Amino acid sequence: MDSYDYIIAGGGCAGLSLVMHLIQTGAATSGNILLIDKAPKTVNDRTWCFWEKGEGLFEPVVSHRWERLWFYGTGYADCKQILPYRYKMIRSLDFYNYCHEHIRAQDHITVLYGEIEQINSEPLQDASVVVNGQTYQGRYIFSSILPENPVLGKKDFYLLQHFKGWIIETPGSVFSPGEATLMDFRVDQQRGTSFVYVMPFSPMRALVEYTLFTESLLEQQDYEQGLKNYISDILHISDYQVHEEEFGIIPMTNFHFRSRENQVYYIGTAGGQTKASSGYTFQFIQKQSRQIAASLLETGVPPAAVSGSKYQFYDSVLLNVLATGKLPGDRVFTEMFRRNPMDRIFRFLDNESSLLEDLQVISTLPTMPFLKAGWQQI
C-alpha cells in the first residue's frame, strides 16, 4: 500500500488552493502529498469572481479587476466605488494551469488521475482512499468530493443558484470595462429571485450571466431566452456574437456539511465553504486553505473543527425568507444595497463584520419577514 502524509482528494478549486497554500507557507515540505482527481483539467469549466482587498495568492491569474460596481434593484440603481476592495475574475483554466506549474516543481507532490471509489476512515488510524482498485493510505485526507444526496433536517433549505453566461462581442463600443454589474434585477421575477450580472473586459466584450436562486432548474432554452431578452431590452444591443458559454449550479443550503470524520477533513463546497445565502465560495476556500496550511506548519495537525457561527444563523434566516417566499429576493437585496455602504456589505457577506455592523445591515431589511424567519430557524 502506498503511504502519504497528506492525500488531497479532488483537485478542483479547494484541492489546488490547499496545495498552493501548503507550498507557499512551506508546510508542503513537511510531508509527501498525493493529489487525486478524475482527469486532468483541460477546459475552462468555470469563472470565479470575488472581491478582495490588496493582492491574493492567485493575483498572477486574475484576468480582470473592477473598482466600480453597479447594482440595479427595484426602483433603485447606483454605481459604487468599492476601493480598497476590487472585484476580480479568474478563469478556471488559468488557475488550474498555474497551480499545476507550481506542483510540477515540487518533487514530493504526486498527481494521480483516476476515480476515487471509496474513502475510508477509522478512529485513531490513518485514512485511505481507493482509486482504480488500489488503496492509498494517508495520515490526513482532505476531501472536496461532495456527499451524494444529503439528508436535510426540518429547518434545512436547499436552493440552487443556477446560471447560464455568454461572453459576447459587439462590433462597436458599448461597455465600460472599469464598471461591472454585480446584480441587475430588471428581469422577470416570476420564477423566483432572478438577476443578471455583466462583467465587461473591453468596450466590445463582456460576460453576461443570467442567474436564478430557485429550487429547480430551467430548460436550457429558458436561460438563453433570459439572456437574449436582457441583452436586447436592457443593454439595447442587437448586434453581437456569442464567443463562449458557461453553465453552472451552486448549492445554496444551510445543510450542515460535516467538516471532519476521523482523519478525513472536508474542504471546499463539500466542507461547507459555499456561503449559503450568496453562493460565493472562492474566498472562503482561500481562508480555509490558509488556516489548514498554518495549522499544519505550526502544530503538524489540521485545525480543530469550528462549531456553528452567527453567520450560519443569518444565512439560514435569509434562505428561509427566500425559499418560503416571505419576501422576494429583489426586495431583500435592493434594501441591503440601497442602505449600506459597500465595505459593510462585503464584510457582512465575508463573515467578517462586527456585531454592530450586523445590526446595521439587519436593520435595513424589512423587519417582520426576517423576525418570523429568525424565529422559525431558532
Ligand X SMILES: Cc1cc2nc3c(=O)[nH]c(=O)nc-3n(C[C@H](O)[C@H](O)[C@H](O)COP(=O)(O)OP(=O)(O)OC[C@H]3O[C@@H](n4cnc5c(N)ncnc54)[C@H](O)[C@@H]3O)c2cc1C
The DSSP secondary-structure symbol of 230 reads I
Closest CA to 142 of 332, 15, 31: 15
211 is an interface residue for ligand X by CB under 6 A: no
CB of 131 to ligand X, least distance (A): 7
Give the CA diameter of the chain: 64
The DSSP secondary-structure symbol of 193 reads E
46 is an interface residue for ligand X by CB under 6 A: yes
Sign of CA dihedral 360, 366, 372, 374: negative
CB of 375 to ligand X, least distance (A): 30
* First and final C-alpha spacing in the chain: 48
Instruction: Report the residue from 4, 6, 48, 210 that binds ligand X according to the rule CB under 6 A.
Output: 48
CB of 263 to ligand X, least distance (A): 18
Name residues contacting ligand X, limited to 253-272 (CB under 6 A). 268-270
> Minimal CB distance to ligand X: which residue?
12
Q: How many other CB atoms are found less than 10 A from the CB of residue 14?
A: 27
Residue 26, Ramachandran bin (φ over 0: left; ψ between -120 and 50: alpha; else beta) = left
Instruction: Report the residue from 4, 6, 7, 11 that binds ligand X according to the rule CB under 6 A.
Output: 11
281 is an interface residue for ligand X by CB under 6 A: yes
The DSSP secondary-structure symbol of 142 reads E
115 is an interface residue for ligand X by CB under 6 A: yes
Closest CA to 179 of 163, 164, 196, 201: 201
Size of the site for ligand X (CB under 6 A): 26
286 is an interface residue for ligand X by CB under 6 A: no
Instruction: Report the residue from 4, 6, 50, 140 that binds ligand X according to the rule CB under 6 A.
Output: 50
Q: Which is nearer to ligand X, 95 or 230 (CB)?
A: 95
Residues in touch with ligand X (CB under 6 A): 10-15, 36-38, 46, 48-50, 115-116, 144-145, 246, 248, 250, 268-270, 280-282
